[in-house]
Amino acid sequence: MKKKIKWVSAMLTMCILAITMTVVSCSDDDEKTNVWYALGFTEINTSSPDALREMGEIEVAYKKALGITESPFSKFGTVEECNQQVLNACQQAENALKEKSWKGTYVFEITNANSEQVIYQKKFKANDDNALL
């Protein structure tokens, strides 16, 4: 019985290793795949009661430009194509938000979840005349 358990355990380990190697080999940068991203705030500096509204406004602009409703989200294509799609959408979001005034300072970031690489980062700074003292 112990021999069978060891054999089954060894077989399971080999199967897991084979699956892991297959998944890693499928993530070649030139190959089309689902590339996963996460977005959110990495820095928040405010004492404004409007902070949640401001953060929501920023997040909604990016989600709208990206055509998503949730994070994490994915794009299909090569890593380079997907990253460029994300960057293009981020530029649209920036354009939509450029005339806004902020009472807090927020850093918004999008990370390629596959590689853990930061793809995009934008700092929204409090306007001096709107900042709380």
On whether residue 103 sits in a domain, the answer given is yes
Count how many domains the chain has.
Answer: 1
On whether residue 94 sits in a domain, the answer given is yes
pLDDT digits (tens, 9 = 90+) for 65-75: 999 998 899 89
Measured between alpha carbons, how far is 67 from 2 in angstroms, rounded to an integer?
54
On whether residue 25 sits in a domain, the answer given is no
Q: What value does the mean pLDDT of the chain take?
A: 79
CB-based burial label for 94 (10 Å; 0-12, 13-18, 19+): middle
Split at pLDDT 50, 70, 90, the class of 3 is low
On whether residue 22 sits in a domain, the answer given is no
pLDDT digits (tens, 9 = 90+) for 43-64: 999 888 989 999 999 999 999 9
To which residue do tokens 């909604």 refer?
A: 60
pLDDT above 60: residue 92: yes
pTM for the whole structure: 0.70
On whether residue 1 sits in a domain, the answer given is no
Question: Phi, psi at residue 56, to the nearest 5°?
Answer: -60, -40
On whether residue 101 sits in a domain, the answer given is yes
On whether residue 133 sits in a domain, the answer given is no
Do 86 and 75 meet the contact criterion of CB atoms below 8 Å apart? Answer: yes
Q: Give residue 131's pLDDT.
A: 44
Question: Domain containing 74: what range?
Answer: 33-124
Helix (H, G, I), strand (E, B) or coil at 104: coil
